[in-house]
Amino acid sequence: QAGDIALTMSVSGSSPNLVKAFEWAKANDLYTIAMVGGKRGKLAEIASETIVIDDTHYGRAEDCQMGIAHMLCYAFMEVDELKA
């Protein structure tokens, strides 16, 4: 719904299914964050915010994306622990 956040991870930044999802998200007033590789692609153009892993090697970029995803997960878990 409007105001929610959509986060994508794509090394190329041009994955058609993710571009289509972001176009829908933007049309429905979601805040969009694209985590992309060094080529950036279409997602970087249309995202509200972009996190660039400045490497075009798919394996290294994906490893970095997974590390960031794990940090985000732990951040959400720690916020929940603080609320308890």
What gap in Å lies between CA 55 and CA 12, rounded to an integer? 10
Is residue 70 predicted with pLDDT exceeding 90?
A: yes
pLDDT of residue 64: 97
* C-alpha 53, offset from chain centre: 11
Residue type, position 37, single letter: G
Annotated domain spans of the chain: 5-83
**Residues in contact with 23: Cβ distance below 8 Å, sequence separation at least 6, in sequence order:** 46
Mean pLDDT of 1-22: 97
Is residue 83 predicted with pLDDT exceeding 80?
A: no
